[in-house]
């Protein structure tokens, strides 16, 4: 394969990686409210260590263990940022939406009273 062919192949792989990263981010967004409801912090060192161990165990190269850890540390950092932003939105929504107990009773219209 020539230079153009290899670059085309890398571009295809980059698009696949991007799709997978966005799919992972979508999962993180679905997870964020569950963690918030259960008071689980975004930062979970034990979970991150388990992810690194799983990746290292399944890494068949040519990337080194260290390279895989650096790449996934960056990915996990971005996913935590996505999750933190979703949690901030969730908190703002919950502050804006009064609970059913605090809502003022709905006034009936004249038509309802007839």
pLDDT digits (tens, 9 = 90+) for 56-114: 999 999 999 999 999 999 999 999 999 998 888 877 888 887 654 444 445 444 555 44
pLDDT at 98: 66
Residues with Cβ within 8 Å of 43's Cβ and at least 6 positions away in sequence, in order, are 80
Question: 99: phi > 0 → left, psi -120 to 50 → alpha, else beta; which?
Answer: beta
CA 69 – CA 49 distance, rounded (Å):
10
pLDDT at 88: 85
Domain 7-92 in CATH 1.10.940.10: no
pTM > 0.85: no
pLDDT at 70: 97
pLDDT digits (tens, 9 = 90+) for 13-39: 999 999 999 999 999 999 888 888 899
CA 114 – CA 109 distance, rounded (Å):
9
CA 50 – CA 76 distance, rounded (Å):
12
pLDDT digits (tens, 9 = 90+) for 29-71: 998 888 888 999 999 999 999 999 999 999 999 999 999 999 9
Instruction: Please state whether the peptide bond connecting residue 32 to the residue before it is cis, i.e. omega within 30 degrees of 0.
Output: no
pLDDT at 56: 93
Q: Domain map of the chain by residue range?
A: 7-92
> Are 33 and 90 in contact, with CB atoms under 8 Å apart?
yes
């Amino acid at each position: 394969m020539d230079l153009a062919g290899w670059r085309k192949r890398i571009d295809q792989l980059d698009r696949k990686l991007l799709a997978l990263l966005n799919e992972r981010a979508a999962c993180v967004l679905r997870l964020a409210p569950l963690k918030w409801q259960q008071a689980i912090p975004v930062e979970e060192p034990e979970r991150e260590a388990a992810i690194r161990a799983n990746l290292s165990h399944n890494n068949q190269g040519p990337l080194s263990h260290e390279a895989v850890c650096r790449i996934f540390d960056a990915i996990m950092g971005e996913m935590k940022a996505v999750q933190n932003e979703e949690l901030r939105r969730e908190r703002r929504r919950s502050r804006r939406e009064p609970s059913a107990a605090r809502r003022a009773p709905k006034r009936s219209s004249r038509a309802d009273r007839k």
